[in-house]
Structure 1
Amino acid sequence: MNPLSVGNSQSTQTLRLSWPDGREQQLNHAELRRQCPCSQCRAFRLCGSTPLVDDRVRVIELNPQGYGVQLIFSDGHQHGIYPWDYLANLTP
């Protein structure tokens, strides 16, 4: 399920998603970075660790990929493509 709209707010550090079922979702930039689905970040989490992420990190660019979105972060991380279903299941 693809969102109807995607917005990125630098001031509130949130990614805003509007879903077809009427649900509005706001996800914190730093938490998105911690939950990155790339293989390196997943490996950290599988070992019981959480990637160290500065709470001031921002999403500075969104690159649509059809089935999801690539998020470019202010700390230079850009390897994860976040599938729409993955984002829909993240809790704020």
Structure 2
Amino acid sequence: MATPSALRNSRSQARLSLEWTDGEHQQISHTRLRGACPCSQCKAARLRGAITVVNEGVRLERIALQGYGVQLVFSDGHERGIYPWDYLRELGARNG
């Protein structure tokens, strides 16, 4: 499992920047992160075909390390998702 060597949250640019130990650098928008929340409620909604429109003004407020990933807390109050490192890397690659 790859872990990032650095995480930077830019509220003004609404982006999370990740630098990986292999030198790769990725940026993921806050709206993308919120829309891809891996919590059980959000996953279930996506499986039912529900399309959740994420407000463009949503911001990542807090990052809590969880060992295998991070818990992200958003300005809309959502804080249930824990994003494993591999999932974040995949989101960053698809963000392209």
Mark yes or no: TM-score above 0.5. Answer: yes
Q: Single out whichever of 40-49 and 65-74 deviates more from structure 2.
A: 40-49
CA contact (8 A) 1:34 1:50 kept: no
Q: Note the C-alpha offset of 1:52.
A: 2.5
- Classify the secondary structure of the residue corresponding to 2:37: coil
Q: Note the C-alpha offset of 1:51.
A: 2.1
Partner of residue 38, structure 2: 37
Partner of residue 81, structure 1: 82
Q: Note the C-alpha offset of 1:22.
A: 1.2
The answer to whether the aligner puts 1:21 opposite 2:22 as a matched pair is yes
Q: Note the C-alpha offset of 1:63.
A: 0.3
- Alignment size in residue pairs: 92
Structure 1: state its 5+ residue gaps. none
CA distance in 2, matches of 1:58, 1:50: 19
CA distance in 2, matches of 1:50, 1:71: 21
CA distance in 2, matches of 1:36, 1:29: 11
CA distance in 2, matches of 1:50, 1:28: 18
Q: Cα RMSD (Å) of the superposition?
A: 0.8
CA distance in 1, matches of 2:12, 2:43: 28
- Classify the secondary structure of the residue corresponding to 2:4: coil
- Classify the secondary structure of the residue corresponding to 2:17: strand
- Classify the secondary structure of the residue corresponding to 2:71: strand
More helix per residue: 2
Structure 2: state its 5+ residue gaps. none
- Classify the secondary structure of the residue corresponding to 1:42: helix
Instruction: Write out the 4+ residue segments of structure 1 that deviate beyond 3 Å after TM superposition.
Output: none
CA distance in 2, matches of 1:87, 1:49: 22
